[in-house]
Amino acid sequence: MRKRTAVIAAVAIAALGGGIAYAAWSSTGSGSGSVGSTAELNSTISPVNGAGGLYPGRTVSYSVTINNPNGYPVKVTGISAGSSALVNGCAAGTVTSPAVTDPAGTIAAGQSGTYTLQATMNADASDACKAQTFSLPLTATLVSAA
Amino acid sequence: MRRALIVFVVLLALSPVGNAAESPGKAFTIADVGAATGLAPGGTVTRTVRVTNPNNQAISVTRLDTSVGRPSPNCPANAVTVEALAAPVLIAKNSHADVALAVRMAASAPDACKNLTFPLTYSGTAIKP
């Protein structure tokens, strides 16, 4: 009788082992897909009206707005130096604006930011430069601030 | 002795059944749902994938990894990373579940990574829940 009991016990253990193997059931999966990066949209720099009062040797503050047409926030890392073109006999380069690096703040997606710059009229500006409006081409560099 | 013999025969007969139960389930599939675009440096977008279970029993997807391919010679594949599965996903038999994966572009991604399509390869493991 004792021998038979021992055999049955051994069978019981073997069956349990089978149960553990069953729990290891697994499967794998695979597939492929893609994700796209965005193309940037260029910003535009626009003058803010109101700056005036330039005379030879004088520096005034003026503001520009930079828009962000992208779907992500951007940071302006730099605004280039600007120099006026020839206007009604007033020599080119009479009004200049120094470059700005890393101005504070970020521009949210679809919003605009305002930046204050300095414009100086050369001390030797001619009379032809009186009561003129000067345009200074500027370029800004922006990076994603997402 | 006779009883012992019968017990052994029973044991042998059970063995093939045990092996059959160990065989893995049918492979599940992972595929994109819709488009995922708009990645910008430092930004995150959601990549939704559909995991389809072709088995006649529920599965629990415990691992879902994504490898990102290099989209162009000048844009490194590591500019984009896809998060792994946060928690196991249970999928009923012969059904599917949509899983949202966060895809992040490194803030240091170069300009060469603009306007590209990054190929993704999914792999996963599931167990019987």
Residue B80: list chain A partners with CB under 8 A: 35, 37
> Rounded to a whole number, what is the distance in Å from the CA of B105 to chain A's nearest CA?
8
Report which DSSP code applies to A31.
E
| Binary contact (B47, A144; C-beta < 8 A) | no
| Binary contact (B30, A29; C-beta < 8 A) | yes
B13 neighbors B116 (Cβ within 8 angstroms) = no
Per-residue pLDDT tens digits for A66-82: 999 999 999 999 999 99
> Rounded to a whole number, what is the distance in Å from the CA of A73 to chain B's nearest CA?
9
How, if at all, do strands A95-97 and A100-101 pair?
A: unpaired
> Rounded to a whole number, what is the distance in Å from the CA of B128 to chain A's nearest CA?
6
Torsion of CA A100, B114, B111, A136, to 10 degrees: -30
What is the structure's pLDDT at A111?
A: 95
Per-residue pLDDT tens digits for A48-69: 987 889 999 999 999 999 999 9
B26 interfacial to chain A (CB closer than 8 Å): yes
- Indicate if the pLDDT at residue A26 is higher than 70: yes
**Per-residue confidence at A101, pLDDT binned at 50, 70, 90?**
very high
Q: pLDDT in tens for each of the 129 residues of chain B?
A: 455 444 444 444 444 444 444 456 889 999 999 999 999 999 999 999 999 999 999 999 999 999 999 999 999 989 999 999 989 999 999 999 999 999 999 999 999 999 999 999 999 999 988
C-alpha distance across the termini of chain B, in Å: 42
Kindly identify which residue of chain B lies nearest to residue A28, measuring between CA atoms.
B125
Q: Is the pTM of this model over 0.90?
A: no
Does the CA dihedral A11-A13-A16-A20 come out positive or negative?
Answer: negative
Query: Chain A window 7-46: which residues touch B at a Cβ cutoff of 8 Å?
Result: 7-8, 11, 14-15, 18, 21-40
Give the 3-state secondary structure of B20-56.
Answer: HHHCCCCCEEEEECCCCCCECCCCEEEEEEEEEECCC
Of A32-41, A105-114, B3-12, give the lowest mean pLDDT range: B3-12
Q: Which of B42, B80, B119 sits opposite A144 (nearest CB)?
A: B42
B45 neighbors B37 (Cβ within 8 angstroms) = yes
What is the structure's pLDDT at B129?
A: 87
ipTM value: 0.75
**Per-residue confidence at A98, pLDDT binned at 50, 70, 90?**
very high
- Indicate if the pLDDT at residue A21 is higher than 70: no
3-state secondary structure of B112: helix
